[in-house]
Structure 1
Amino acid sequence: MKNTIVVAGATGNLGHSICTELIKAGTHVKAIVRDSSDPLKVDALKKIGVEIIEVTQFKEKELTPICQGASCVVSAVTGLHDVIVNAQLELLHAAIAAGVPRFIPSDFSSEFTNIPEGENRNFDLRKEFGQHLEKSSIKATTIFNGCFADILRYNTPLFNVKGQTVAYYDDKAYWKIDFTTMDDTAAFTAKAALDATTPRYLRIASFRVSPNDLVALSEQYKDKRFKLVDMGSMEGFSAYNKIQRAQDSAGEDELYPKWQQAQYLYSMFLVHHEALDNDRYLDLMWSKVEDNI
């Protein structure tokens, strides 16, 4: 009998990739989608063999029958408080009511458990949901993947191809930053969803590079050695982010306002994995940094 995995947020890039990996493994996948979802994205899921279940409201009563018979619920939703806390709580309660033994929350990020409150708004939302998750009866597994590797193509201060610079803070030019591609994250998550023995936390990275490493890579793959730029202290960076947030109240209703983007950069230099669980599933092949810059 096939395993059944329920995926929420399946029309997003990560959610779709997780569904794809689960289908490849011969899993029965149920995707919870809102009736307002992009029909092209829904059709793309249908074409790979995903069972689509549309809901009008993301409420426990409507979600519970969908979760029945599943061995794990995977959340790949994105959003602000109404999604990360409120909607995921409805999904969590539905999973518990349906007797689902395991839950993977939408915590795909840096290891925010070690980041103080107020330093990253979006991580604070995940911590708030996590408090509810810890009190629940379900077995949960969070997957920390560091940063998604595609950020290296966005001309952020960390690796600015247009400006040909690489940034660092304090004395962290040698600080290793965790990066994982979306495909690698999805492949690992699919394995974890089918693994009844997963611990509370799993930590992965396709590759780990420092600002100094990025300078060397720029010379090799961008045909010019980028300039390493000292951006000042982490303390000053934190204070700057708080000022920018206080001056942009409208940004509280946006998923990625400029100050939130800066908070992500701050988090990259604040925490990184001490150890990796990459070898938990030995058949996975991890992407290389050379293919992502």
Structure 2
Amino acid sequence: MAQTVGVAGITGKFARCVVKSLLQNPGISVRGFCRDPSKFPASIAASSRIHIVKGEFNDKVSLQDFVAGTDVVICCYLGNADLMSEGQKLLIDACVTKNVPRYIAGDFSVDITNIPYGALPPKDPCKDIMKYLDSTDIQGVHILIGVFMETFWSDFMQIWDPKQKKLSHWGTGYEIWESTTYGTEADYTVAVAMDKTAVGIQQFLGDRKSLIEIVEVFAKVYGYKPNLRNLGSLEDLHQSMHKSLQSNPADVMAWMPKFFFYWSQNEDACLKRDLDNTNYPHVVPMTFEDFFRRHQIDGLASAADNLTSEA
């Protein structure tokens, strides 16, 4: 069945993965929205199935032009609280005005539904949007995926040291990491977008493993077992992250990775056991082992910067 899917923030990394997956479906047309269309690959933008609308996130006229005629809008915004909260509200308002039936919010994270406001500051805007969607006529969709696998190995999380080839962690190492690659999540997002019955909270994962288990799989694939450096207990982490935030809130990299580490390891933010993966059996999720086999050991830290090579 032919559908038109809107992708807001179409020049972003995750958005490009979504577009790549969308274009694998012949009946899909894509409407994109961004500030600078020149950042989108010209080879893809030239497709007759893609139309890109240029505009600022608060340009109501451009937003309505963008969403007009779409069957569902996927928000791939990634930015500050103003963009993620007020920007999404304006996008939702445009969807309501143009009678778009469904809106897939820019969540893509651990389960934030049980996390109190202020406990994971970067995700407070997502909680705002959950409430906002409930107050509108549009059907909201919230996709939860744990931690992006590429992000786990990136400099941002401060877990993997690519020079010394060791892993640093808080806690025992037996806590479970729930993780999904950008490519796998893009495929699930597209599956949800094409499924008109998919509304509310959707939960997908590529893999669930403790750091101890991840190290064993790492050794199996690469023939090298990285050392583990324990930084303290999760309670130590909790104290450290709040101290860092309070002492210098402007130094985002001093506290934000700690907050994401903590809530990625907190049971309150874990996804349900009975995942929604089973609703879309045609999507084959990438596991940690699959991920390692797709990347050279020296390329793990930069995997997020080389997403175009991932299926």
TM over 0.5: yes
Residue 262 (structure 2) pairs with residue 266 (structure 1): yes
1:44 CA drift (Å): 4.4
| 1:102–1:138 contact (8 Å) kept in structure 2 | yes
Q: Which residue number in structure 1 is paired with residue 28 of structure 2? A: 27
Q: Which residue number in structure 1 is paired with residue 115 of structure 2? A: 115
Q: Which residue number in structure 2 is paired with residue 180 of structure 1? A: 180
1:82 CA drift (Å): 1.6
| 2:32–2:66 contact (8 Å) kept in structure 1 | no
Aligned-pair Cα RMSD in Å: 2.1
Q: Which residue number in structure 1 is paired with residue 17 of structure 2? A: 17
The one-letter code of the counterpart of 2:33 is I
Quote the Cα distance in structure 1 between the aligned partners of 2:167 and 2:203: 25
Q: Which residue number in structure 1 is paired with residue 298 of structure 2? A: none
Q: After the TM superposition, which residues 133-148 of structure 1 pair with which residues of structure 2 at under 5 Å, given as runs?
A: 133-148=133-148
Q: After the TM superposition, which residues 96-175 of structure 1 pair with which residues of structure 2 at under 5 Å, given as runs?
A: 96-154=96-154, 156-171=157-172, 173-175=173-175
The one-letter code of the counterpart of 2:124 is D
Q: Which residue number in structure 1 is paired with residue 92 of structure 2? A: 92
| 2:105–2:142 contact (8 Å) kept in structure 1 | yes
The one-letter code of the counterpart of 1:220 is K
The one-letter code of the counterpart of 1:154 is S
| 2:218–2:289 contact (8 Å) kept in structure 1 | no
Quote the Cα distance in structure 2 between the aligned partners of 1:284 and 1:237: 36
Q: After the TM superposition, which residues 26-65 of structure 1 pair with which residues of structure 2 at under 5 Å, given as runs?
A: 26-34=27-35, 37=36, 39-41=38-40, 43-48=42-47, 49-56=49-56, 58-65=58-65
Quote the Cα distance in structure 2 between the aligned partners of 1:127 and 1:70: 25
| 1:158–1:265 contact (8 Å) kept in structure 2 | no
Which whole-Å deviations, capped at 9, do the CAs of 1:67-113 have from their partners, x for residues lacking one? 22211111000001121011111100000011111000110111111
Quote the Cα distance in structure 2 between the aligned partners of 1:160 and 1:272: 26
Task: State the SS of the aligned residue for 1:188.
Answer: helix
Quote the Cα distance in structure 2 between the aligned partners of 1:84 and 1:152: 22
Task: State the SS of the aligned residue for 2:185.
Answer: helix
Q: Which residue number in structure 2 is paired with residue 285 of structure 1? A: 284
Quote the Cα distance in structure 1 between the aligned partners of 2:39 and 2:124: 33
* TM-score (norm. length: structure 2): 0.84
Task: State the SS of the aligned residue for 2:130.
Answer: helix
The count of residues paired between Structure 1 and Structure 2 equals 286
1:234 CA drift (Å): 2.1
* TM-score (norm. length: structure 1): 0.89
Quote the Cα distance in structure 2 between the aligned partners of 1:217 and 1:162: 20
1:126 CA drift (Å): 1.3
The one-letter code of the counterpart of 1:204 is F
Which whole-Å deviations, capped at 9, do the CAs of 1:213-233 have from their partners, x for residues lacking one? 022123223433333444333
In structure 1, the gaps of 5 or more residues are none
The verdict on how the C-alpha distance between 1:93 and 1:176 changes in structure 2, with shifts beyond 3 A counting, is same
Deviates more, 1:119-128 or 1:198-207: 119-128
Q: Which residue number in structure 2 is paired with residue 248 of structure 1? A: 248
Quote the Cα distance in structure 1 between the aligned partners of 2:56 and 2:132: 24
Percentage of identical aligned residues: 22
Which whole-Å deviations, capped at 9, do the CAs of 1:110-135 have from their partners, x for residues lacking one? 11112233232211121122221222
Quote the Cα distance in structure 2 between the aligned partners of 1:220 and 1:42: 37
1:146 CA drift (Å): 0.9
The one-letter code of the counterpart of 1:146 is G
Task: State the SS of the aligned residue for 1:136.
Answer: coil
Quote the Cα distance in structure 2 between the aligned partners of 1:41 and 1:65: 19
In structure 2, the gaps of 5 or more residues are 293-311
1:261 CA drift (Å): 1.4
